[in-house]
Structure 1
Amino acid sequence: MRLVPGTPDAVLSALTAVLDGTGTPFAPVPADPAAAERVRQAVAPDEPLESDDCAVILATSGSSGEPKGVMLSADALVASATATHDRLGGPGQWLLPMQPYFVGGLQVLTRSVIAGYAPVVLGESFSAAAEAMTGERRYTAMVPTQLARYLDRELEALRSFDAIVIGGASMSAELKARVRAEGVTAIPAYGMTETGSGCVYAGEPLNGTSVDFDDGRILIKGPTLFSGYRLRPELTAEVFRDGWFRTQDRGRLVDGRLQVVGRLDDVVISGGVNVTLTAVQARLLEHPGVADAVVLGVPDAEWGSRVVAFVVGQPGRDQLRDFVSEVLPRTWAPQQVVELTELPMLASGKVDRQRLAEGVR
């Protein structure tokens, strides 16, 4: 197993080779030294591969804990790319606006190889990159934060795509409404590195993927699943049961579509009361003075877990507590409010929850 630079050209070259059978398994490494070291620790490049069923090893983003090395086979990558094209209406050309050392970016390149089109890599201008595309069908993938920013200044370019796959985080109701109003075809996708990127589009599983539940926990089965965690057989055995991958997410079916409710660790006990953090966060996002928000449970000697709201905006703690209490129990209102100019983000486009939590402990 070899390390390759996490640049689009280097990853595309290595990926093309493993997909056609001429290359060896690889792990893409970001340029940032600290991030590169986390990848090396997760993928253990000097240790023999424990599975022949591995083409790429990706390090999870570690947004809420230690990064893990996720082994993906060539068959899983191809199955994901093929099912995506089937759902979107056929192969096309892809624009890459994200880093290819995360699964969302890697799969943009995989889809490009399968479709036979050279991917267009985002430069300084999104519009210029969109104009450079020559495929009959045009696709891209991004996180909600990118979509929201491009809606403000790149609307016509967004409208030119046949489909924009949105992953990495859930889309807010406000963002979904705005996308519909502006005539942009944005499709929310649910998935993760372990599922070979998005495996459920707009609540409906891709071809070959099945969804089930175990006491609210989302279970996934299908050909896009990873082969296991690098040198973590005990963890691999813990998350796989009878071919089903046991995610850390809670969900349910609503009108036959998957609705992700939150993570299993989104419920904390604060002062003896069970608090659903995602419900508090959703309520805060409804406040006109809050542009963005994340709610975490932070260890506290008095409360057990202290509910802390990190908000982009300046409504004030008391106002936000009252606003939350209008629709949720008063005991769910955040004990602490941290005002920020923006939420810290990982390169994957996810909020750096670990950094936020460490800043208030």
Structure 2
Amino acid sequence: MTRALVAVSAESPDEVLAAVLAALSGTGPAVLPLVKGAEALTDEAGTSRLGEVPRAVAVVIETSGSTAAPKRVMLTTDALLASAAATSVALGGDGQWLLAIPAHYVAGVQVLVRSIAAGTTPVVLPSGHFDPEVFADFAEQLTAPLRFTSLVPVQFARLLSAAQTNYRLLTVLRRFTGILVGGQAIRPELIELADLLDLRLVRTYGSSETAGGCVYNGYPIGNTTVRVVGGELEISGAVLALGYLGDASRTAERFVEERGVRWYRTGDLGEIDPETGLVRVLGRADNVIISGGEKVSLDAVERLVRRVPGFEDAVVLGADDAEWGQVPVVVVAAALNAAVPLERIRELVGEELGKAARPSRLLTVPQIPLLSSGKPDRQALAELIR
């Protein structure tokens, strides 16, 4: 059996909330939240041009990361509600949410789903530039005993920076039962500062394919299971997506079945502590270059470079090289560059990762281009270093 799929403008979170509620209850079509262009996917009669999806699907999330090709992830009602239930247990109960992430991202949709499951009304932060003062204004509208929000690291960093001199903001942040931060790695110094400020930070790991975060502070939630196969993290559990809309080959590549259990191949390198079960994400499996015949993880190089003062938001990319084949290149915003010479960066990286991992160039740009999610736009930066 199938159901219709309709596009809803993510610029109207209230409309997305209503559409998702109808989809979850089975009284409405499946929903594809889009940041723009939703109107073009409906004809003059108001009929969706998107066609049909399997009946179990409630929400489709369109993703296009900083390097990967776009894809549409089909999330079932069961997966979305399983994720919401696991989050509730992990965070100590249902509560009220502040929506601070666009509603076309899985983290934004999950704020709405969790609110529906909890029977609470989310407070919606206005779109546009993320302003800590505006965040505080809307966070003060939360009235439930348990209060939550979900952020990306760049938002969290701005809040922490402002909270150090803004007591009102700090007080508001301390009222949150949980501040979920995910989407990319959080710098260690931000984690330390959050602890120093007595904030309840929850570091999340997951993706659209897992209905959002399914590993909190390094540990799987709900019935999620994580394993390592060939160095790559694989995930199973009730939160898994059905697959990719209109892309059977990619679905078969990423979702595999073994002894009756479905696993999602994340594409992330990682490790699991055999004693504690703590999951550690090491970087993307496809973000590796061959330099001088040796494999070099650009994520590992980037983590080291970002420890250098002034390079906290630097990006490391791979570039072709006549001698080495490929080499790491560091890109940093001019305003953040602390004038550390390239040779010092090469020395630090070489000491820990070896000669092949040493960056060959240091490129300074006016600012690091970002995607709407707050992640660096690596495709745009790759054009600059060619």
TM-score, normalised via structure 1 length: 0.92
Q: How does 1:174-213 map to 2 (within 5 A)?
A: 174-213=189-228
Selected match of 2:360 from 331, 335, 342: 335
In structure 1, runs of 5+ residues without a counterpart are none
Whole-Å Cα distance in 2 between the matches of residues 10 and 293 of structure 1? 37
Any idea what the Cα deviations from partners look like across 1:68-120, whole Å, max 9, x if unmatched? 01011111111111110110000000001110100011101111111111100
- Kindly indicate whether residue 342 of structure 2 is the aligned counterpart of residue 317 of structure 1: yes
Which residues in structure 2 correspond to 1:218-257 (within 5 Å)?
Answer: 218-242=233-257, 243-254=262-273, 255-257=276-278
Q: Higher mean Cα deviation, 170-179 or 266-275? A: 266-275
The residue aligned with 1:119 is 122
Q: Output aligned runs, 1:73-222, within 5 Å.
A: 73-123=76-126, 125-153=134-162, 154-222=169-237
| Structure 1 residue 322: Cα displacement | 3.0
| Counterpart among 67, 81, 89 of residue 64 in structure 1 | 67
Q: Is the 8 A contact 2:41 2:50 kept in 1?
A: no
**2:33 is the counterpart of 1:28:** yes
How much does 1:302 deviate?
Answer: 4.5
The answer as to whether partners of 1:62 and 1:68 remain within 8 angstroms in 2 is no
8 Å contact 2:271–2:282 — kept in the other structure? yes
Alpha-carbon spacing, 1:38–1:145, altered in 2? closer, same or farther (3 Å): farther
2:18 alignment partner, SS class = helix
Q: Percent identity?
A: 42
Deviations 1:185-221 (A, max 9, x none): 1110110000000001111111111111111111111
Match of 1:2 among 3, 6, 14: 6
Runs of 4+ off more than 6 Å: 36-40
Q: What's 1:352 paired with?
A: 377
Unaligned runs of 5+ in 2: 43-47, 163-168
Aligned with residue 258 of structure 1, among 279, 284, 288: 279
Summarize the Cα distance change of 1:47–1:115 in structure 2 as closer, same or farther, 3 Å threshold.
closer
Q: Structure 1 301/50 Cα, relative in aligned 2: closer, same or farther at 3 Å?
A: farther
* Change in CA separation of 1:151 and 1:288 when aligned onto 2, cut-off 3 Å: same
Offset at residue 293 of structure 1 (A): 1.5
Residue number in structure 1 paired with 2:45:
none
SS of the residue aligned with 1:278? helix
CA distance in 1, matches of 2:79, 2:41: 21
For residues 127 and 76 of structure 1, the distance between their equivalents in structure 2, rounded to whole angstroms, comes to 32
State the shift of 1:38 in Å. 12
State the shift of 1:354 in Å. Answer: 1.5
User: Is the contact between residue 6 and residue 50 of structure 2 (CA under 8 Å) also seen in structure 1?
Assistant: no
Alpha-carbon distance in structure 2 between the residues aligned to 1:227 and 1:350: 26
CA apart distance, 1:311:
2.0
Query: Is the 8 Å Cα contact of residues 283 and 300 (structure 2) preserved in structure 1?
Result: no
SS class of match (1:290) = coil
CA RMSD of aligned residues (A): 2.0
**Residue number in structure 2 paired with 1:19:** 24
Count of residue correspondences: 354
- 1:50, 1:231 within 8 Å by CA — same for their partners in 2? no
Q: Secondary structure at the match of 1:292?
A: coil
Contact 1:93-1:139 within 8 A present in 2 as well: yes
* 1:17-43 CA-partner distances (Å, limit 9, x unpaired): 111221101211113x6xx79999xxx
State whether residues 190 and 198 of structure 1, in contact with CA within 8 Å, keep that contact through their aligned partners in structure 2: yes
Shift of 1:251: 1.0
Kept in 2, the 8 Å contact 1:267–1:277? The answer is: yes
Q: Which moved more, 1:94-103 or 1:270-279?
A: 270-279
C-alpha distance in 2 between matches for 1:155 and 1:338: 36
8 Å Cα contact 2:204/2:215 also seen in 1: yes
Structure 1 residue 181, shift from structure 2 partner: 0.9
TM-score by length of structure 2 reads 0.87
